[in-house]
Chain A
Amino acid sequence: MNRILAIFFCCCLLAHGVAGANETASIVVIVNPASGIEKLSRDEVIDIFLGRYRKLPTGRVAMPIDISNPNDERALFYKLLVSKSPAEISSYWARLVFSGKTSPPFQVPDARTAVELVESNPNAIAYVDRAALTHGVKVVLEIKR
C-alpha cells in the first residue's frame, strides 16, 4: 500500500514538471463590458469552462461559449488552459453529461459568432485569438505559455 502511494505521488509530481513544457501561443478570455468583471483568474476560468463552478464574482451565472471547430481556438484554449487534447475534453464531458450533472459550454461554429454573443450577453464568456477582438468585448485573462 505504501509503495502504491509513493508511485502515485511521484507520478503526480512528474506530471507537474512535464506540464510546464514550452509553448509560445496565447489566447484571450473575453466578457461583455457591462458584466462588471474586471479580470478572472486562471482557476476561475478552468472552473467555468469545465463546469465545476459557474458563479461569477458579480453573482451572475456565467454562460461559457465553446468554439466547436476543434482545430482552431478550442484545441489551443484547452491545451493552454489544462493541457488537454480535444479528445480528452470530450471524454471529460462524457463523464459529466451522462451523469446529468451539468451542461457543456454553449457551442458556436467560429470565433466571430462567439464575439457577437459576448457583445450581446452580459453573462457570456468566451475565448478567442487576440486578432478577433472587437471594441464590444473586454479581455479578462490572457493565457499563454
Chain B
Amino acid sequence: MSLAMLDVVARLLHIFGVVIWLGHNYVNVIQNPVFRPIQPTDPGDLAAALKREHGTFRYASLVVLVTGVYMLWYRGILFDALTLSGHAAVIGIGVWVGFLMVLNLWFVLWPHQKKVLGFVPAPDEECIRCSRVAFLSSRTNSILSVAAFFFMVSGAHGLFFYA
C-alpha cells in the first residue's frame, strides 16, 4: 500500500474514530444532562454495556490520535503544526486540543471510571465520588470537542483566518 493510499485510509479511520468517540460523548451529554451517579438498582446489563462502550471509544481515541499524526506527517506539516507555525497553526491548535482530550480521557476519566465500572474494586462512596469526577472529565471533553472540531475542519478550509 502506498503512503498516499494509507493517507486516505488514515483519514477514513480518523473520521470513524472521531464519530465513535465523540458520538458516544454527545449521546452521554443528551442522556445525562446533569450528573446522576449509578444507582444500585440499575440493571446489570447496563453496567456490561457501559464497560463495552467505554473500551470502544477509549481505543477509538487512540486511532484518532495516530491517524491524525500520520496525516500531518504525510503532508510534511507535523512539526509546524505542533509548534503552531505559519498556516499550520490552525490545525496545530486542533491537534493540541485533541491531544488534551486524549490525555483527559486516558489519565483523568479512565482511572476514575475503572472504579465506577467495577474493574477496580472500591467502596460505594468512592464509586460515587469517582463517577462525579468521570462526569466532569467527560464534559470537559465535550467543551474541548467544539474547538477541536472547528480547528479540524478549518485547518483545510480556513481562509477566513487571514485578516
Are A and B part of the same complex? no
Residues on B lying within 8 angstroms of A by beta carbon are none
